[in-house]
């Protein structure tokens, strides 16, 4: 995997080994950021971060801050190593459950310009309701939420659908408040 654009364009990034993490492909990441547009000075929340590729891409493209949330310890170590290798600043890595961190962020009143969600495809149905309750309270008024799911799933949240696109076996759905 590599960074697609920004200050670290072309730099390779590591991904966790094993079957627990499904990194977003370069093609889908490029499409995602083409849909999102500029992210300079944005605050980003990368839930179910996995390899961290989405948040790393946002930082390379000028995001001011990115909070990575991933439950898997090996994946968190890879994210931290990628941040060190790329010398990217403005990042915080939480090795915790995404719903728990999302609940804490809502209680703290934190808002994000861009929320990236890439839960394991098979877990979407299990986490959708909790995400629907919490996400509207963490996305900034002019912000975006991007959800990556299996291409056959059309995610629903209590937010306005800006667009939804299929890319092979993946679907990207952008929501706005």
Q: Per-residue pLDDT tens for 155-174?
A: 999 999 999 999 999 999 99
Per residue in 100-150, pLDDT tens?
999 999 999 999 999 999 998 899 999 999 999 999 999 999 999 999 999
Q: How many alpha carbons lie under 13 Å from residue 172 in its C-beta half-sphere? A: 24
Supply φ then ψ for residue 91, to 5 degrees: -120, 150
Q: What percent of the chain is predicted at pLDDT more than 90?
A: 82
**Confidence grade of residue 18 (pLDDT, cut at 50, 70, 90):** low
Strands (E), 13-159: 43-47, 65-69, 91-94, 112-117, 139-150
pLDDT tens per residue, range 62-100: 999 999 999 999 999 999 999 999 999 899 999 999 999
- Domains of the chain (ranges; CATH) run 26-176 (3.40.50.150)
CA distance 9 to 20: 26
């Amino acid at each position: 995997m590599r960074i697609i654009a920004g200050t670290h364009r072309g730099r390779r990034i590591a991904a966790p080994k094993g079957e627990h993490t499904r990194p977003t492909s370069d093609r889908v990441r490029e499409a995602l950021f083409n849909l999102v547009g500029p992210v300079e000075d944005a605050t980003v929340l990368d839930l179910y971060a996995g390899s961290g590729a989405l948040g790393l891409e946002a930082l390379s493209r000028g995001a001011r801050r990115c909070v990575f949330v991933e439950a898997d310890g090996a994946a968190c170590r890879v994210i931290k190593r990628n941040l060190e290798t790329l010398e990217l600043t403005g990042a915080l890595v939480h090795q915790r459950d995404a719903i728990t961190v999302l609940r804490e962020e809502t209680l703290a009143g934190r808002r994000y310009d861009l929320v990236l969600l890439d839960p394991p495809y098979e877990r979407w149905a299990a986490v959708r309701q909790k995400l629907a309750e919490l996400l509207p309270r963490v996305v900034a008024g002019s912000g975006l939420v991007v959800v990556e799911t299996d291409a056959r799933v059309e995610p629903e949240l209590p937010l306005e659908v800006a667009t939804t696109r299929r890319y092979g076996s993946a679907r990207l759905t952008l929501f706005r408040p």
